[in-house]
Amino acid sequence: MFEKDSLIIGLLIGLCVPFVGYATIQMIFEQIAELEFLNPDTRSIYFRERTIAILAVCLNLIPFQLFKKRRNEKTMQGILIVTFIYVFVWIYYFANLMFLN
């Protein structure tokens, strides 16, 4: 299935990887919080949500690089299209919180 160079495959991969990444990173943060390594007073909830979201979007770089090595240009385009949409949504959603301390 992944041997074929297809825009649809790129779009699907670009949609799924950040969702799985967000859930995984959120789970890691919760595990660390249970161990009391993080002080909840030092960071706001928006910082944590914003950071996890952008890290999840950046996880699209991994499949992008894998398909770049295989020279699957259409699949790479699909991943990039979804990544740009995610970034624009992230900026829109967190624009009013980005410069707050």
**DSSP H or E segment with residue 63:** helix 61-69
pLDDT number for residue 17: 95
DSSP letter for 97, please.
Answer: G
**Is 0.85 surpassed by the pTM of this model?**
no
Per-residue pLDDT 10s for the chain (101 aa) are 556 888 999 999 999 999 999 999 888 877 877 776 666 555 555 567 888 899 999 999 999 999 999 999 999 999 999 999 999 999 988 888 776 65
Q: 56, 93 in Cβ contact below 8 A?
A: no
Distance of CA 40 to the CA centre of its chain: 23
Place of tokens 């967190």: 94
What span, in angstroms and rounded, lies between the C-alpha atoms of 59 and 26? 14
Q: 23, 59 in Cβ contact below 8 A?
A: no
